[in-house]
Structure 1
Amino acid sequence: MAAEDRRAALISATLPLLREFGLEVSTRQIAAAAGVAEGTIFGVYSDKNSLLVDVLMDALDPDSTLQAIRAIDAGKTLRVRLAEAAELVNERFTQNAQLMTAARKLVFMSGAHPEAAARMGASRGQLQAALAELVLPDAAVLRRAPDAVAGLFLLFCGGNAFGPFGDPDHFDGEELVSLLLDGLLIRPSIDHGGA
């Protein structure tokens, strides 16, 4: 088996284990799941953490979410566009919460993988840029620039998925967008059908 094929097989076998066991997954478990000898891992990777970083980079790749955000119908109202985007981002964040926690520990806090940290930062930037583009047609009715709105949007979604007080089942896309656009005050004069 070619090195790239072994690498792909190891990444594929490791992802479910990383989701289940976190960073405590052993190379023995990985080898068993991949159907290879434990030494095979070290023929491809210098250490377990290098494999885990590759798994995280593969699993947290934003392309499918970016494509889905870009496919949202620009003819819909801002509120509807953002609610659809919030559902996509919430799904991404809640599905990958454990992986994001592992990435923070392994990539950002350790400082041992600067290329991976830069790639993850770039992924967040791409996500924020796609959301800013989604908001751009309605920039004139917002108190903040589209990029700032996109940043707040991600903050709301991230807090809902990762924060100790988040509740992805209660704060769905529409509720998050309502909080972002309307705040918490009841304003009877707001027409929710417009923006």
Structure 2
Amino acid sequence: MVETIATEKSATERPARAPSLSVEDRQSMLIDVVTPLLLQHGRAVTTKQIAECAGIAEGTIFRAFGSKDELIRAAIDRHLDPEPFRAQLRLVDLDLPLEERITAIVTLMRERFTTVFTLMSALGATGPPPHSDDGRREFAEIISRSLAGDAARLNVDPARAAQIVRMIALAASVPQMRNGQSFDDGEIAALILYGIAGRPADRVSN
């Protein structure tokens, strides 16, 4: 009797089955999974590899996306979408010291440049990713606004400074352009702020 009750109790206490993901959530999860695989394997990645990394059956991929190519296209579209990156740039704390603010901007820009160029290269794309002049201007305006509070410290106006930040961050992110030893984000920020001969104001005064 005791054994029967225990068996019935264990049956009723089985954990509930995890709720299935919506189509949108499943698609987002698969894009998260496929991105590092694309960086490693390019278009040669298989649906079996994707399914194993996601912990799902291969058929689930085709229920979320019609084909592997559609999944790859969705991953590319996500990473080329500029708005999430713009949102991150807008969140840079304007109360940070200028040096830390520049470093935060450089870090975000290098992460984006590195991911986009590595992904496009892995997929066999040639040339720069598509962009619009309006989109490029908006990036410059966001960075310019983040520097405006320290305009008196700058040797150029904030808009010109924003162009310089983007140019140097881009060059430092692409190995073919860098052509040598890599730089960390702090080094790049210091180069932007002080060049190769200048010094922070407190050091000069000492």
Q: TM-score of the superposition, structure 2-length normalised?
A: 0.62
Q: Which runs of 5+ in 1 are unaligned?
A: 110-116
AA paired with 2:105? A
- Cα distance change, pair 175–22 in 1 and its aligned pair in 2 (3 A): same
Matches within 5 A, 1:28-107: 28-34=48-54, 35-38=56-59, 40-59=60-79, 63=84, 66-67=87-88, 70-74=91-95, 76=97, 78-94=98-114, 97-99=117-119, 101-102=121-122, 105=125
Q: Which runs of 4+ in 1 moved over 6 A?
A: 106-109
- What SS does the aligned partner of 1:17 have? helix
Report the alpha carbon displacement of residue 131 of structure 1 after superposing the two structures with TM: 1.8
Which of 1 and 2 has higher RCO (CA within 8 Å, sep 6+)?
1
Provide the residue aligned with 1:13 in structure 2. Answer: 33
Provide the residue aligned with 2:176 in structure 1. Answer: 164
Superposition RMSD in Å: 4.1
User: Comparing 63-72 with 134-143, which one deviates more in the overlay?
Assistant: 63-72
Report the alpha carbon displacement of residue 151 of structure 1 after superposing the two structures with TM: 2.4
AA paired with 1:72? D
Which of 124, 145, 149 matches 2:161?
149
User: Comparing 144-153 with 59-68, which one deviates more in the overlay?
Assistant: 59-68
Report the alpha carbon displacement of residue 156 of structure 1 after superposing the two structures with TM: 1.0
AA paired with 2:143? L
Which of 170, 176, 181 matches 2:193?
181
Structure 1 distance, partners of 2:69, 2:42, is 12
Provide the residue aligned with 2:44 in structure 1. Answer: 24
Task: Give % identity.
Answer: 25
Partners of 2:38 and 2:119 within 8 A in 1? yes
Partners of 1:53 and 1:107 within 8 A in 2? no
- Cα distance change, pair 169–80 in 1 and its aligned pair in 2 (3 A): farther
- The yes-or-no answer on 1:191 pairing with 2:188 is no
User: Comparing 99-108 with 82-91, which one deviates more in the overlay?
Assistant: 99-108
Report the alpha carbon displacement of residue 11 of structure 1 after superposing the two structures with TM: 1.9
Structure 1 distance, partners of 2:138, 2:44, is 30
Q: Which runs of 5+ in 2 are unaligned?
A: 1-19
The total of aligned residue pairs comes to 181
Partners of 1:22 and 1:102 within 8 A in 2? yes
